[in-house]
Amino acid sequence: MKDLVILVADKNMEYAVKGLLSRPEALSIREISFDIFIHPYHDPGCLNEGHYFLQSALNQYRHALILFDREGCGREGLTRQELEELVEANLFRSGWQEAAAIVLEPELEIWVWSDSPHVAEILGWKNKQPDLKTWLIKKGFLPEGELKPSKPKESLEVVLKQVRKPRSSMLYRRLAEKVSFGRCTDEAFNKFKSTLQNWFLK
Protein backbone atom coordinates (compact mmCIF):
# COMPACT_ATOMS: atom_id res chain seq x y z
CA MET A 1 0.00 0.00 0.00
CA LYS A 2 1.10 3.57 -0.69
CA ASP A 3 0.94 6.17 2.07
CA LEU A 4 -1.32 8.80 0.53
CA VAL A 5 -3.77 9.50 -2.30
CA ILE A 6 -4.55 13.15 -3.02
CA LEU A 7 -7.42 14.54 -5.06
CA VAL A 8 -7.08 18.13 -6.27
CA ALA A 9 -9.16 20.54 -8.35
CA ASP A 10 -6.70 21.42 -11.12
CA LYS A 11 -3.18 21.14 -12.51
CA ASN A 12 -1.88 24.23 -10.68
CA MET A 13 -2.87 22.65 -7.38
CA GLU A 14 -1.32 19.33 -8.43
CA TYR A 15 2.02 21.02 -9.14
CA ALA A 16 1.89 23.06 -5.91
CA VAL A 17 1.28 19.93 -3.82
CA LYS A 18 4.04 18.04 -5.66
CA GLY A 19 6.40 20.91 -4.84
CA LEU A 20 5.40 20.90 -1.17
CA LEU A 21 5.74 17.13 -0.81
CA SER A 22 9.20 17.26 -2.37
CA ARG A 23 10.29 18.92 0.91
CA PRO A 24 9.48 16.42 3.67
CA GLU A 25 12.17 17.93 5.93
CA ALA A 26 10.55 21.38 5.77
CA LEU A 27 7.15 19.83 6.53
CA SER A 28 8.70 17.84 9.43
CA ILE A 29 7.52 14.53 7.98
CA ARG A 30 9.23 11.39 6.69
CA GLU A 31 9.50 10.64 2.97
CA ILE A 32 6.14 9.33 1.76
CA SER A 33 4.77 7.48 -1.26
CA PHE A 34 1.82 9.27 -2.87
CA ASP A 35 -0.26 9.76 -6.01
CA ILE A 36 -2.16 12.90 -7.04
CA PHE A 37 -5.30 12.91 -9.19
CA ILE A 38 -7.22 15.85 -10.68
CA HIS A 39 -11.02 15.79 -10.53
CA PRO A 40 -12.44 16.40 -14.03
CA TYR A 41 -15.12 18.70 -12.54
CA HIS A 42 -12.56 20.76 -10.59
CA ASP A 43 -13.64 22.43 -7.31
CA PRO A 44 -17.33 21.37 -7.36
CA GLY A 45 -16.24 17.85 -8.30
CA CYS A 46 -13.88 17.61 -5.32
CA LEU A 47 -16.57 18.96 -2.99
CA ASN A 48 -19.54 16.91 -4.17
CA GLU A 49 -18.03 13.76 -5.65
CA GLY A 50 -14.52 13.46 -4.21
CA HIS A 51 -15.48 10.59 -1.90
CA TYR A 52 -16.89 8.61 -4.85
CA PHE A 53 -13.76 9.32 -6.88
CA LEU A 54 -11.50 7.99 -4.12
CA GLN A 55 -13.60 4.99 -3.11
CA SER A 56 -11.82 2.69 -5.55
CA ALA A 57 -8.49 3.67 -3.95
CA LEU A 58 -9.46 2.47 -0.45
CA ASN A 59 -7.37 -0.70 -0.59
CA GLN A 60 -4.36 0.91 -2.26
CA TYR A 61 -3.59 3.82 0.12
CA ARG A 62 -3.47 4.32 3.88
CA HIS A 63 -4.60 7.96 3.87
CA ALA A 64 -6.62 10.31 1.63
CA LEU A 65 -6.59 14.09 1.15
CA ILE A 66 -8.93 16.28 -0.92
CA LEU A 67 -7.92 19.88 -1.73
CA PHE A 68 -9.98 22.51 -3.53
CA ASP A 69 -10.75 26.26 -3.57
CA ARG A 70 -13.71 27.70 -1.70
CA GLU A 71 -14.08 30.25 -4.51
CA GLY A 72 -15.77 28.50 -7.40
CA CYS A 73 -16.82 25.37 -5.47
CA GLY A 74 -20.51 26.27 -5.85
CA ARG A 75 -21.25 26.42 -2.11
CA GLU A 76 -19.57 29.67 -1.11
CA GLY A 77 -22.35 30.26 1.43
CA LEU A 78 -20.60 27.73 3.69
CA THR A 79 -17.44 28.56 5.63
CA ARG A 80 -14.14 26.85 4.90
CA GLN A 81 -14.54 24.70 8.03
CA GLU A 82 -18.11 23.70 7.13
CA LEU A 83 -17.02 22.62 3.65
CA GLU A 84 -14.14 20.59 5.11
CA GLU A 85 -16.42 18.89 7.61
CA LEU A 86 -18.90 18.02 4.84
CA VAL A 87 -16.23 16.40 2.65
CA GLU A 88 -14.61 14.60 5.58
CA ALA A 89 -17.95 13.17 6.69
CA ASN A 90 -18.50 11.84 3.15
CA LEU A 91 -15.00 10.32 3.11
CA PHE A 92 -15.52 8.56 6.44
CA ARG A 93 -18.93 7.27 5.34
CA SER A 94 -17.40 5.87 2.16
CA GLY A 95 -14.90 3.83 4.17
CA TRP A 96 -11.84 6.04 4.76
CA GLN A 97 -10.52 5.90 8.34
CA GLU A 98 -7.66 8.38 7.87
CA ALA A 99 -8.77 11.18 5.55
CA ALA A 100 -8.99 14.98 5.51
CA ALA A 101 -10.20 17.86 3.35
CA ILE A 102 -8.31 21.13 2.88
CA VAL A 103 -10.33 24.04 1.50
CA LEU A 104 -8.25 26.98 0.32
CA GLU A 105 -9.69 30.36 1.27
CA PRO A 106 -10.44 31.92 -1.15
CA GLU A 107 -8.20 30.02 -3.63
CA LEU A 108 -4.83 28.34 -4.19
CA GLU A 109 -3.06 31.64 -4.95
CA ILE A 110 -3.35 32.63 -1.27
CA TRP A 111 -0.45 30.17 -0.71
CA VAL A 112 1.68 32.05 -3.28
CA TRP A 113 1.86 35.23 -1.22
CA SER A 114 4.34 35.32 1.62
CA ASP A 115 7.08 37.72 2.68
CA SER A 116 9.77 35.39 1.32
CA PRO A 117 12.20 37.00 -1.15
CA HIS A 118 11.75 33.90 -3.33
CA VAL A 119 8.24 35.08 -4.29
CA ALA A 120 9.47 38.21 -6.09
CA GLU A 121 12.36 36.26 -7.62
CA ILE A 122 10.22 33.43 -9.04
CA LEU A 123 7.52 35.84 -10.25
CA GLY A 124 10.20 37.79 -12.16
CA TRP A 125 10.23 40.90 -9.94
CA LYS A 126 13.76 40.59 -8.57
CA ASN A 127 15.63 43.95 -8.32
CA LYS A 128 12.67 45.88 -9.79
CA GLN A 129 11.73 49.27 -8.34
CA PRO A 130 9.55 49.73 -6.41
CA ASP A 131 9.74 46.32 -4.70
CA LEU A 132 6.83 43.94 -5.19
CA LYS A 133 5.10 44.63 -1.86
CA THR A 134 5.23 48.41 -2.37
CA TRP A 135 3.91 48.05 -5.93
CA LEU A 136 0.99 45.88 -4.78
CA ILE A 137 0.08 48.43 -2.08
CA LYS A 138 0.29 51.34 -4.57
CA LYS A 139 -1.95 49.51 -7.04
CA GLY A 140 -4.53 48.75 -4.35
CA PHE A 141 -4.03 44.96 -4.33
CA LEU A 142 -2.45 44.76 -0.89
CA PRO A 143 -4.15 46.67 1.95
CA GLU A 144 -1.72 48.52 4.24
CA GLY A 145 -0.68 46.31 7.15
CA GLU A 146 -1.90 43.08 5.52
CA LEU A 147 0.41 40.21 4.60
CA LYS A 148 -1.58 38.88 1.64
CA PRO A 149 -3.62 40.50 -1.16
CA SER A 150 -7.41 40.39 -0.76
CA LYS A 151 -7.70 39.01 -4.32
CA PRO A 152 -4.73 36.63 -4.54
CA LYS A 153 -5.39 35.20 -8.02
CA GLU A 154 -6.09 38.58 -9.61
CA SER A 155 -2.96 40.01 -7.94
CA LEU A 156 -0.81 37.18 -9.30
CA GLU A 157 -2.18 37.62 -12.82
CA VAL A 158 -1.54 41.37 -12.76
CA VAL A 159 2.05 40.91 -11.55
CA LEU A 160 2.79 38.30 -14.24
CA LYS A 161 1.29 40.57 -16.88
CA GLN A 162 3.47 43.45 -15.67
CA VAL A 163 6.66 41.37 -16.04
CA ARG A 164 5.38 39.65 -19.23
CA LYS A 165 5.65 36.19 -17.71
CA PRO A 166 3.12 33.46 -18.64
CA ARG A 167 1.17 31.80 -15.82
CA SER A 168 2.06 28.12 -15.69
CA SER A 169 1.66 25.19 -13.33
CA MET A 170 5.46 25.01 -13.07
CA LEU A 171 5.42 28.44 -11.42
CA TYR A 172 3.32 27.01 -8.55
CA ARG A 173 5.70 24.09 -8.20
CA ARG A 174 8.79 26.32 -8.09
CA LEU A 175 7.19 28.52 -5.41
CA ALA A 176 6.23 25.46 -3.35
CA GLU A 177 9.77 24.11 -3.64
CA LYS A 178 11.44 27.36 -2.52
CA VAL A 179 9.32 29.47 -0.18
CA SER A 180 9.77 28.98 3.56
CA PHE A 181 6.81 27.48 5.45
CA GLY A 182 7.95 28.85 8.79
CA ARG A 183 6.05 32.13 8.81
CA CYS A 184 2.92 30.94 6.99
CA THR A 185 -0.24 32.12 8.76
CA ASP A 186 -2.78 30.63 6.35
CA GLU A 187 -5.16 28.32 8.25
CA ALA A 188 -5.67 25.89 5.37
CA PHE A 189 -1.92 25.55 4.84
CA ASN A 190 -1.34 24.99 8.54
CA LYS A 191 -4.04 22.30 8.53
CA PHE A 192 -2.36 20.68 5.51
CA LYS A 193 0.96 20.65 7.36
CA SER A 194 -0.39 19.44 10.71
CA THR A 195 -2.48 16.69 9.04
CA LEU A 196 0.63 15.36 7.29
CA GLN A 197 2.59 15.56 10.55
CA ASN A 198 -0.11 13.59 12.39
CA TRP A 199 0.09 10.85 9.78
CA PHE A 200 3.74 10.83 8.79
CA LEU A 201 5.83 12.22 11.63
CA LYS A 202 9.51 11.39 11.21
pLDDT bracket for residue 145 (50, 70, 90)? confident
Alpha carbons 95 and 150: distance in angstroms, whole number: 38
As a whole number, mean pLDDT of residues 162-182 equals 94
pLDDT bracket for residue 30 (50, 70, 90)? very high
Task: Identify the pLDDT of residue 185.
Answer: 82
Q: Are 143 and 150 in contact (CB under 8 A)?
A: yes
Task: Identify the pLDDT of residue 5.
Answer: 98
Angle, CA of 77, 81 and 82, to the nearest 5°: 50
pLDDT bracket for residue 89 (50, 70, 90)? very high
Between 187 and 184, residue with greater pLDDT: 187
Res. 26: pLDDT tops 90: yes
pLDDT bracket for residue 114 (50, 70, 90)? confident
Res. 9: pLDDT tops 90: yes
Mean pLDDT of the chain: 96
Res. 182: pLDDT tops 90: no
Task: Identify the pLDDT of residue 202.
Answer: 79
Q: Are 18 and 190 in contact (CB under 8 A)?
A: no
Task: Identify the pLDDT of residue 183.
Answer: 74
Task: Identify the pLDDT of residue 147.
Answer: 87
Secondary structure (DSSP) of 45-85: HHHHHHHHHHHTTTTTEEEEEEEEESTTSS-TTS-HHHHHH
Query: Could you give all domains of the chain from N- to C-terminal order, each with its CATH number?
Result: 2-105+186-200 (3.40.50), 110-175 (no CATH)
pTM of the model: 0.95
Whole-number percent of the chain with pLDDT over 90: 91
Least confident of 95-104, 116-125, 156-165, 181-190: 181-190
Q: Using one digit for the tens of pLDDT, what is the confidence trace for 51-84?
A: 999 999 999 999 999 999 999 999 999 999 999 9
